[in-house]
Structure formats: structure tokens, C-alpha cells
Amino acid sequence: MTRTFLVGGNWKMNGSVKSIESLTGALNASDIVEGTEVVIGAPAVYIPLLAEKLRKDWGVAGENCHDEDSGAYTGEISAEMLKDVGAKWVILGHSERRNIFGESDEFVAKKTKKALSVGLKVILCCGELLEEREAGATQQVVERQLKAVIDILPNEKDWENIVIAYEPVWAIGTGKVATPEQAQEVHKDIRAFLSRLISAGAAENTRIIYGGSVNEKNCAEIGRKPDVDGFLVGGASLKPSFADICNAMK
């Protein structure tokens, strides 16, 4: 199977009505290589605007959601709410959610199951801290994070609407980038892990994308690796040059 290359943008806590109208105007006019899927994650308050303004062949994602339908969770957003205002995807398990807001592997897993149940597709993030990489624990950390999800979504069919984003935390927003060889090594190991715990089909079909200081200058070399199926882009997704990253495989 040929996996469809996917480029995701994660705006994080950035944006305004003015900047979104300007950026979507530039991106909508860009010439993107056929066959690349593009998804942009925006703050929840801007999802309706983004869904309205963004070209219709691209997807819109929430940046987080809760695992409950509704309730006394002040400030939280449910998966149903995201879908209701135009999101088709949600980003879950981002290192900032795990390491700043203390989300556990199990909570991320519950949110993943919930999002899938309402028809959202999921970009599921995993990745290690610098001290974990230096201790040689990269794969141990990544497998622990993914296993929590596999434990409650154990079937191959469950993974048809999940994209795994490997994001080494030490490379997010730091300007440091995993070498193409480092990215390929981890992606290959993740694929082998999926094969062992779920099935060979899940390993072959699940897209594994790379995130961590990706920009228009380094994306092509990383994207050529056989187990790298795209990117999750942070700061660079807030610029018109994001279109160049979307064209990494042109």
C-alpha cells in the first residue's frame, strides 16, 4: 500500500481574525502537489472561521479535546463540539499537553477513543524528552505512550483514522531537528511495534509523520525516508511558506 503523505499544521495558541484571513488567502492561492493531504489545527475559538475560509480540500483540526461528552469541566472542549463547528480532525497527546498540563498516557488514550467514536480523525502525538533520548530510552517512552492507546483500541480497524506524529520534545521549537536517519529509525521502530501489538496491516497502513522544527528548508530530505509519511508543523505553519512544506514531495 502507498500511504498518502500528510502535512499537518499546529497553530498552538496563536492567531487572530485578521491573521487567519490573510494566511488562508495566501494558502488557498498556493499550488499544492496532488496527492498530499493537508490538515491545519487552530485554537478552538477560530475553528469556525478557519473552516469557512480555508480551501475545502484541506482539513481543519482541533488542538485538543476532552474524553467526556459534556459536563462540569470549565474551559474544556468536547469532541462533539469540535465536530459541530467544522473540525474533521483533532490533535491529541501533544508534548505540551503531556508535559505542561500533566496529561497522562491513559487520559490521552481515552480522548483518542472518544474522538474516533464521534467521527473525528486523530493525529496522535508521541515523543521523548532530551534527557530520555540521552539515556537511550526513546523507544521505551514512545512505546509506553502508544501502548496506552493500543490497550483500549486493540484492533486494526481502530487505527484506520489515527495518524501517529513522532515529535522528539527536544526538537520542538528549539531549532534542533532530528536527523533524517534519527527520524527514520524511530518511525521504523514504531511501525514494528504496531506490527507486534496490533497487526502487520496496521503497521503497513498507519501513517507516521514527523514533527520538530520542520521548515521549508529541511522537509524534503526528511520526507524522503521510507517510514516518514509527512510532518506535523508548528511555528512554520503560521507562515505562507507552509505551502512549501506541503510540497516537500513535489
6-246 carries CATH number 3.20.20.150:
no
Q: Give the C-alpha distances (Å, rounded to integers) separating 188 from 156, 173, 183, 241, 244.
A: 18, 24, 9, 29, 26
Q: What pLDDT is recorded for position 1?
A: 52
Measured distance CA(40)–CA(53) in Å, rounded: 12
Measured distance CA(14)–CA(4) in Å, rounded: 28
What's phi and psi for 214, nearest 5 deg? -75, 135
Q: Over the chain (250 residues), what is each successive 10-residue block's mean pLDDT?
A: 92 98 97 96 98 98 98 98 98 97 98 98 97 95 98 97 96 86 97 98 98 92 96 96 94
Residue 83 amino acid letter: K
Q: Give the C-alpha distances (Å, rounded to integers) separating 226 from 130, 160, 170, 181, 208.
A: 25, 20, 23, 11, 10
Locate the domains of the chain by residue range.
Answer: 6-246
Measured distance CA(203)–CA(111) in Å, rounded: 22
Catalytic annotation, pick one of 94, 96, 132, 187: 94
Class of residue 241 by CB neighbours under 10 A (exposed 0-12, middle 13-18, buried 19+): middle
- Which residue's C-alpha cell is 488514550? 109
**This prediction's pTM:** 0.97
Residue 94 falls in the annotated catalytic set? yes
Decide if 82 contacts 45 (C-beta within 8 A): no
Question: What is the Cα 20 distance to its own chain's centre?
Answer: 20
Residue 167 falls in the annotated catalytic set? yes
- Which residue's C-alpha cell is 492567531? 15
Cell of 172: 520542538
Beta bridge partners of 111: none
Q: Kindly state the DSSP code that residue 11 receives in the 8-state scheme.
A: -
Catalytic annotation, pick one of 103, 128, 132, 167: 167
Residue 159, number of CB atoms within 10 A of its CB: 25
What's phi and psi for 178, nearest 5 deg? -60, 140
Query: Which residues in 200-222 are b (16+ Cβ under 10 Å) and which e?
Result: eebbeebbbbbbbbbbbebbeeb
Strand pairing class (230-233; 59-62): unpaired
42 Rama class: left (phi>0) / alpha (psi -120 to 50) / beta: beta
